[in-house]
């Protein structure tokens, strides 16, 4: 193990490293100095893909700011200026706008990976928390970024989302007070646009900070793995570089192809045509939909008839992830050895996708036409109940009652056994 300690041979590098051991830090974090379990599959690729997307968003974002004007009179036109006049402006903006969606896709898979293989379980609870904090920061950043082009969906999406905070009306005028503080006026207007722009620029760097903490917290216990058992002896681990740097780079090349298909062939598929109309405070679009990555939570909001309780329920649907390490009482991490857990995990995922689908529908829209018809509101309520019962009932009970399959003694042993099987 010690042979992988970073020892520069070049005298100049050694002189530098003695005074600021940052190269050794990188070597131990992303290089040969970090020992990762030898059995990581491609689901473990998505952490580095998320890191890649964060860098892409920051670089394209910084470039876009060089051409964008954060003012209600000029924002919409400056975005059109980027699309039509700025050299490669169309490319940079499409990479940034589709990049947001790609970032969320990758992070959702990363979170689901953690759920399936029990990566949130001891000793990685803080690592899980930091990941959720990153996700919450991403939601805030994505929302504020969507407001900046100052199109119809920007304006009305912002109106609906900021009004959520008006539900906290515990004494007369408190709700309005909160809203006026958020908006800097009596409605979404120039002060709102400018503060959203400021924060949209700031938060990605806060995310970078939390990502560093996330990686720090990862490297104390080390990566989880598909078997969910602790990596013990040297036979269980391989150096991150070159093994996983190569594997991640290969996965990245695949990912970039998919990303490019969206940027070059379907650049507006995840957007909404209404956002190519400038914001108009007198006309609400006939149907407001948030970006796809918020849709499941939007359905949960719509499912509750009371305003305050709806808002609390929606926030709870995200915050409940913080409790997952304790809701899950199983001694085994990976769902590979927990068939009932795995079954309900896939059911949870299907339900979450269905919630997202319902989010695009009007509450009164008939979804199932059999037997008089069932509308989106009713289905949304059923789905929301299932969403919460997964956390509150299914996971706590199943994890404590399920008879798990035998877990291999070590990662190395499992690899050898699988070779024998072949």
Partner 1 sequence: MTTNDQVEHGEDVTRRNFLYVASGVVGVVGVASAAWPLVDQLNPSADVLALSSVEIDLSTIQEGHTITILWRGIPVFIRHRTKVEIARAIAENADPMKDPENDQLRAQKPQWLIMIGICTHLGCVPLDNSRFQTGDYGGWYCPCHGSQYDISGRIRKGPAPRNLDVPEYVFLNDTTVKIG
Say whether 278 is catalytic.
no
User: Catalytic one among 27, 291, 328, 383?
Assistant: 291
Measured from the CB atom, the residue of 133 and 164 that comes closer to partner 1 is 164
Assess 191 for contact with partner 1 (CB under 8 A).
yes
User: Catalytic one among 97, 223, 334, 384?
Assistant: 223
Q: Tell the smallest beta-carbon distance from residue 280 to partner 1 (Å).
A: 10
Q: How far apart are CA 107 and CA 114, in angstroms?
A: 11
State phi, psi for 151 to the nearest 5 degrees: -90, -175
Say whether 35 is catalytic.
no
Measured from the CB atom, the residue of 81 and 381 that comes closer to partner 1 is 381
**Which of 305, 328, 276 shows the shortest CA–CA distance to 77?**
276
> Among 288, 342, 374, 415, which residue sits at the site for partner 1 (rule: CB under 8 A)?
288
User: Catalytic one among 121, 200, 214, 248?
Assistant: 248
The DSSP H or E segment spanning 15 is: helix 11-19
Measured from the CB atom, the residue of 123 and 373 that comes closer to partner 1 is 373
Say whether 17 is catalytic.
no
Per CB under 8 A, contacts with partner 1 among 150-189 are 156, 159-160, 162-164, 166, 180-187, 189
Using CB under 8 A, which of the segments 55-63, 240-248, 356-364, 408-416 binds partner 1? 356-364
Q: How far apart are CA 182 and CA 167, in angstroms?
A: 13
Measured from the CB atom, the residue of 305 and 421 that comes closer to partner 1 is 305
**Which of 3, 74, 410, 44 shows the shortest CA–CA distance to 230?**
410
Distances 301 to 167, 295, 309, 331, 370 between C-alpha atoms, Å: 12, 10, 9, 34, 26
Q: Tell the smallest beta-carbon distance from residue 272 to partner 1 (Å).
A: 14
Assess 381 for contact with partner 1 (CB under 8 A).
no
Residue 416 makes CB contacts below 8 A (sequence gap 6+) with none
Assess 195 for contact with partner 1 (CB under 8 A).
yes
Q: How far apart are CA 100 and CA 324, in angstroms?
A: 26
**Which of 195, 198, 169 shows the shortest CA–CA distance to 183?**
195
Say whether 223 is catalytic.
yes
Assess 120 for contact with partner 1 (CB under 8 A).
no
Q: Tell the smallest beta-carbon distance from residue 404 to partner 1 (Å).
A: 44
Assess 318 for contact with partner 1 (CB under 8 A).
no
| Residue-level length of the chain | 422
User: Catalytic one among 200, 247, 272, 336?
Assistant: 247
Q: Tell the smallest beta-carbon distance from residue 288 to partner 1 (Å).
A: 5
| Both tokens assigned to 114 | 């953690």
Instruction: Give the x-and-dash track for 290-309 against partner 1 (CB under 8 A).
Output: ------------x-xxxx--
User: Catalytic one among 4, 67, 71, 219?
Assistant: 219
Assess 73 for contact with partner 1 (CB under 8 A).
no
Q: How far apart are CA 1 and CA 32, in angstroms?
A: 10
Assess 363 for contact with partner 1 (CB under 8 A).
yes
Assess 205 for contact with partner 1 (CB under 8 A).
no
Q: How far apart are CA 7 and CA 292, in angstroms?
A: 48
Say whether 291 is catalytic.
yes
Measured from the CB atom, the residue of 310 and 329 that comes closer to partner 1 is 310
Assess 19 for contact with partner 1 (CB under 8 A).
no
Per-position DSSP letters for 138-198, written without gaps between them: HHHHHHHHHHTT-BHHHHHHHHHHHHHGGG--SSTTHHHHHHHHHHTSSSS-HHHHHHHHH
Residue 179 makes CB contacts below 8 A (sequence gap 6+) with 162, 163, 165, 166
Residues that are catalytic:
219, 223, 247-248, 291
Binding site for partner 1 (CB under 8 A): 156, 159-160, 162-164, 166, 180-187, 189, 191, 195, 281-288, 302, 304-307, 310, 362-364, 377
């Amino acid at each position: 193990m010690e042979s992988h300690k970073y020892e520069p041979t070049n005298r100049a590098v050694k002189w530098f490293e003695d005074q600021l051991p940052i190269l050794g830090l990188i070597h131990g974090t992303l290089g040969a100095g970090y020992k990762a379990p030898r059995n990581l599959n491609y689901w473990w690729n998505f952490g580095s893909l998320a890191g890649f997307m964060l860098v892409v968003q920051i670089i394209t974002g910084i470039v876009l700011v060089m051409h964008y004007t954060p003012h209600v009179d000029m924002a919409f036109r400056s975005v059109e200026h980027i699309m039509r006049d700025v050299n490669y402006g169309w490319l940079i903006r499409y990479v940034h706008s589709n990049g947001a969606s790609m970032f969320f896709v990758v992070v959702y898979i990363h979170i689901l990976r953690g759920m399936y293989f029990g990566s949130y379980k001891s000793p990685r609870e803080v690592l899980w928390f930091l990941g959720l904090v990153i996700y919450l920061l991403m939601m805030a950043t994505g929302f504020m970024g969507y407001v900046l082009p100052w199109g119809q969906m920007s304006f009305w999406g912002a109106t609906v989302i900021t009004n959520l905070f008006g539900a906290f009306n515990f004494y007369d005028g408190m709700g309005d007070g909160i809203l006026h503080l958020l908006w800097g006026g009596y409605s979404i207007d120039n002060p709102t646009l400018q503060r959203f722009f400021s924060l949209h620029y700031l938060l990605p760097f806060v995310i970078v900070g939390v990502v560093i903490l996330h990686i720090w917290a990862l490297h104390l216990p080390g990566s989880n793995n598909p078997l969910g058992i602790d990596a013990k002896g040297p036979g269980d681990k391989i150096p991150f570089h070159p093994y996983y740097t190569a594997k991640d780079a290969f996965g990245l090349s695949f990912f970039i192809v998919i990303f490019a298909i969206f940027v070059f062939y379907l650049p507006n598929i995840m957007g909404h045509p209404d956002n190519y109309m400038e914001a108009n405070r007198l006309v609400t679009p006939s149907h407001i939909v948030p970006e796809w990555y918020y849709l499941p939570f939007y359905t949960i909001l719509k499912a509750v008839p009371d305003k305050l309780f709806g808002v609390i329920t929606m926030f709870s649907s995200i915050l409940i992830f913080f409790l997952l390490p304790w809701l899950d009482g199983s001694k085994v991490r990976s769902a590979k050895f927990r068939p009932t857990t795995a079954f309900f995990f896939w059911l949870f995922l299907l339900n979450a996708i269905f919630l997202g689908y319902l989010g695009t529908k009007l509450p009164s829209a008939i979804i199932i036409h059999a037997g008089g018809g069932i509308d989106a509101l009713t289905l949304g309520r059923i789905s929301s109940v299932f969403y919460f019962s997964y956390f509150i009932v299914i996971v706590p009970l199943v994890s404590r009652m399920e008879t798990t399959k035998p877990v291999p003694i070590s990662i190395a042993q499992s690899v050898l056994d699988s070779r024998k099987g072949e």
